[in-house]
């Protein structure tokens, strides 16, 4: 029979939020409750009789609560097949009553890890009985409803109300699938905690429930996002973020995060920066960033690392943009910026903290450490006769931060606190430089006294030769080419300064 009436429910949960209406629905339908510990007390306080688990098993909770439900009287009642003659005979022989509904959640393992719990605390939050109950009930979805998370209480309540505490096979199979989603996520979290030390070469990532996006990279592609975006952002205005929006938001917040301790503004288009600047105020930083490419900024993704006030908002509001991200907004600034209903206005609640990145590729996945190295003054090795001035050093480090977040091959041209132009995603470094020079000239910048950053070494001296012809006076690059000395010699003969960092920042 597809339809099953719930006659007995096992409920044992850590979180009891929103459980009360479910208990009332079951209780009023005459369902028998089986429970233990705090959940038993909760149900009894609502006025319903409860059969303790200990009464069914003949054993008390033992080993500090590690063993409570692991017994044939419990698992037999969940797993025996109601339409199997042999199972029915054995259930009668061993006096094992059926359990038709299991509501169980799991110990808060991830929460304990996130709070910095001790190893002993973390180990004790590895659920054994609960996850076994979930798996058993989900396996026998033909007969049993399994609810494995408080996030599913609403769905269960709707089912109980609409079908008078009964379920059909499609209901039970749906809850079973959700249960295995819960258990697989839980096991992945446990494995990854152990694997921080063990380093077993196995890839297991789980991000819980996802959201369907309007489409993928293009309208004919489906797209989804998996993860808790609300933990990182609060959206104050505008439509839902698209796939491409999310990719650009990631690029914007990663880049602006490089400028801690400064007031910075970045403008992103197709993951690359078309404007980056620092300033004494958000308004100044924005105007300087916008100057770098007033064309590409149209429809861009904007990010600031300081609260946006009205003075900045009045300037930003003149631009058509898709997304604006900031740690906060003054009330009058927010009111102005929300005047266009489709603008996506985001508050970034906290900095990014991920240390690993991965993506699908060929028939598998590649994973690597994030490039978390930001070039600093201590990384700089002066390789030319001329040492860069303090201002040039600041400009070089500024340009290097941008190059780190730009598609390779890239060349970045800048002055202290302002991007002038960049060449991005070119197949040769010379092409990247020529693109950057042409762009700088298009937007009226003189390169006299500017600096140049490269994400990787110069294989030949051609880039520094071209840069010198445009008035560029200082260069930062990783170094490491067998022809490094050719570039250094050219710089020396033209009074240019060059520093190497020893750190390459390819970005593919």
Tokens of 200: 């077993």
DSSP H stretches of helix in 14-84: 20-28, 37-45, 53-57, 72-79
Catalytic residue among 71, 139, 204, 307: 139
Place of tokens 């339809």: 3
Distance between CA atoms of residues 179 and 18, nearest Å:
19
Do 297 and 290 meet the contact criterion of CB atoms below 8 Å apart? yes
DSSP reduced 3-state for 463: helix
Phi-psi region of 400 (alpha: psi -120 to 50; beta: other; left: phi over 0): alpha
> What are φ and ψ of residue 403, in 5° steps?
-60, -35
Instruction: Identify which of 46, 2, 16 has the alpha carbon closest to the alpha carbon of residue 169.
Output: 2
Half-sphere exposure for 7 (CA within 13 Å, toward CB): 9
**Cβ 142 vs Cβ 8: under 8 Å:** no
Taking residue 379's Cβ as centre, other Cβ atoms within 10 Å add up to 17
Answer yes or no: 139 catalytic: yes
Specify the long-range contacts of residues 41-49, CB closer than 8 Å, at least 24 apart.
42/16, 43/11, 46/20, 48/23
CA 93/CA 335 separation, integer angstroms: 72
For residue 373, indicate whether it is catalytic: no
Set 71, 270, 441, 494: catalytic member: 270
Q: Is the CA virtual torsion 306, 307, 309, 312 positive or negative?
A: positive
Give pairs for 268-275: CB < 8 Å, separation 24+.
Answer: 268/300, 268/301, 268/302, 268/303, 269/296, 269/297, 269/299, 269/300, 269/301, 271/247, 271/407, 272/406, 272/407, 272/422, 272/424, 272/425, 273/402, 273/405, 273/406, 273/419, 273/422, 274/300, 275/300, 275/419
Q: 497-500 and 474-477: which strand pairing?
A: parallel
* CA atoms within 13 Å, Cβ hemisphere of 335: 4
Catalytic residues: 139, 270
């Amino acid at each position: 029979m597809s339809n099953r009436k719930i006659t007995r429910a096992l409920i044992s949960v850590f979180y009891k939020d929103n459980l009360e209406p479910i208990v009332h629905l079951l209780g009023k339908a005459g369902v028998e409750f089986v429970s233990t510990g705090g959940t038993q007390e909760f149900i009894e306080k609502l006025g319903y009789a409860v059969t303790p688990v200990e009464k069914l098993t003949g054993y008390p909770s033992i080993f500090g609560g590690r063993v409570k439900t692991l017994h044939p009287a419990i698992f037999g009642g969940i797993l025996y097949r109601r339409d199997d003659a042999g199972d029915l005979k054995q259930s009668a022989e061993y006096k094992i009553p059926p359990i038709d509904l299991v509501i169980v959640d799991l110990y808060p393992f991830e929460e304990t890890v996130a709070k910095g719990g001790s190893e002993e605390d973390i180990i004790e939050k590895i659920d054994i009985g609960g996850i076994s109950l979930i798996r058993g009930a989900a396996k026998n979805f033909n007969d049993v409803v399994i609810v494995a998370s408080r996030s599913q209480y609403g769905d269960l309540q709707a089912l109980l109300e609409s079908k008078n505490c009964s379920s059909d096979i499609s209901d039970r199979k749906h809850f079973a699938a959700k249960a295995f989603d819960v258990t697989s996520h839980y096991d992945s979290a446990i494995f990854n905690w152990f694997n921080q030390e063990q380093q077993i070469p196995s890839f297991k990532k789980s991000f819980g429930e996802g959201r369907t996006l309007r489409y993928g990279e293009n309208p004919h592609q489906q797209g989804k996002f998996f993860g808790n975006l609300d933990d990182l952002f609060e959206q104050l205005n505008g439509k839902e973020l698209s796939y491409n929006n999310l990719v650009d938001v990631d690029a914007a917040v990663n880049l602006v995060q490089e400028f801690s301790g400064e007031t910075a503004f970045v403008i992103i288009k197709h993951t690359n920066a078309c404007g980056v600047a620092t300033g004494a105020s958000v308004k100044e930083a924005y105007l300087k960033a916008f100057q770098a490419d007033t064309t590409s900024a149209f429809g861009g993704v904007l990010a600031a690392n300081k609260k946006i006030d009205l003075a900045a908002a009045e300037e930003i509001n003149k631009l058509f943009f898709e997304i604006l991200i900031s740690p906060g907004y003054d009330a009058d600034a927010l009111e102005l910026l929300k005047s266009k209903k489709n603008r996506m206005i985001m508050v970034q609640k906290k900095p990014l903290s991920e240390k690993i990145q991965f993506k699908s590729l060929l028939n598998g996945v590649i994973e690597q450490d994030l490039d978390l190295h930001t070039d600093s003054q201590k990384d700089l090795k002066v390789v030319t006769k001329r040492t860069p001035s303090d201002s040039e050093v600041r400009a070089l480090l500024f340009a290097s931060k941008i190059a780190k977040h730009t598609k390779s091959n890239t060349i970045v041209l800048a002055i202290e606190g302002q991007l002038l132009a960049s060449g991005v995603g070119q197949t040769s470094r010379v092409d990247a430089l020529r693109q950057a020079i042409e762009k700088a000239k298009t937007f009226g910048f003189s390169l006299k006294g500017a600096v140049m950053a490269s994400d990787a070494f110069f294989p030949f001296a051609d880039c520094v030769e071209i840069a010198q012809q445009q008035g560029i006076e200082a260069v930062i690059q990783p170094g490491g080419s067998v022809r490094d000395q050719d570039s250094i010699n050219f710089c020396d003969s033209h009074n240019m300064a060059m520093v190497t960092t020893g750190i390459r920042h390819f970005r593919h």
